[in-house]
Amino acid sequence: MDAPQSFSRSPIPGAHDARDLADWDGRDPLRVVLPLSVVAAWAYARPAVFQQVMERRGLPSRPAKFVEVVNDAMFVCAKAYVQPVGTGAVVAFRGTEPTNLINWLADATLQKVAFHAKPPGAVHGYVHGGFYRNTRAVWPEIVETLHELKPEWIYITGHSYGGALAVLAGALMADYEGEKPTGFGMLWGKLKGIVTFGQPMVGDETFAASYTASVGERLVRFVYAHDIVPHLPPRTGGWAPVHLGTEYRAPDGTRWTKEHRWSDPILGVLGANLVAVGAWMQDQMGFAPKLTLPYSWGDHAPNNYVRVSLPHGAESGSEFD
């Protein structure tokens, strides 16, 4: 009788997810883009499915902790996984759930709030109100989980709205620097990187300037083709968001290249969204000849980010393995 077959761990050719995360020296983010894109993409799944994928990739040293804070009346819907990997840990914030109205309302607000400061001052600048309140709501349980785990290294990641929360979580963690090393202060020194996918802007120029030397040095943003979300929120009266960190882009959807010109905010919300929906429709309908449009909602899908991160030789559909 033949022995039962099993699906091998890390079936992607040349992929060694856990080892790559543990060994990364912070210089070439393409060494860790595959495992982190997988974690960010599957953070949308329910815990049982997330765990199955993590085990298939050979990542967990123990089950992930699912952290969830939901309060519809306060427009809070923040969810994340804290996944132990060997001697380290990956924090993956869930992005906008397509059917979750509270997520969309948190995204859509153009309200700005002072970051980590007592009113009326904003010494660290202003940030997106929806992203900030959701980060603050879920952060206590995440940081307490990390403190209990005492990992030797940490990554923070997320796709879309999850990427925005990842950046703000990194800024909150940076503020622990200088605290006693036996407390939360030890976390910042363990942070290897903040790696985001299709991440919107989170703060203004003052916020970016305040955290460029800390968060910006550890932040790598990946932008797939004409994804519209990295150009959001729009520049409006009293609100001028900017990016920080390093940007990698896949302009033709085939490979990541380092960009020297970052994604700029859109100016017209309605027009840009109509273009982005049109681009998605022509992709889905297979229109020919295909027009090259500046923004696309279809390019925002997390599976695009996993697919372009796959190594040479991976077969079609491997982004779901």
Tens digit of each residue's pLDDT (9 = 90 or more) over 238-268: 778 999 999 999 998 889 999 877 777 665 5
In the chain, the percentage of residues whose pLDDT exceeds 90 is 58
CB 107 within 8 A of CB 161: yes
| pLDDT for position 278 | 46
The confidence score (pLDDT) of residue 321 equals 77
Fold (topology level) of 17-267+299-320: Rossmann fold (3.40.50)
- Per-residue pLDDT for 167 more than 90? yes
Using CA atoms, how far apart are residues 23 and 101, in angstroms rounded to an integer? Answer: 40
* Model confidence at 188: pLDDT above 50: yes
Q: Is the pLDDT of residue 291 over 70?
A: no
244's tokens? 């920080």
CA distance 189 to 88: 13
Residue 127: what pLDDT? 94
* 169: nearest Cα among 119, 200, 132: 132
Sketch the domain layout of the chain as residue ranges: 17-267+299-320
Read off the pLDDT band of 277 (50, 70, 90). very low
Q: Which pLDDT value is given to residue 141?
A: 96
Q: For residues 57 and 141, what is the distance between their CA atoms, to the nearest angstrom?
A: 26
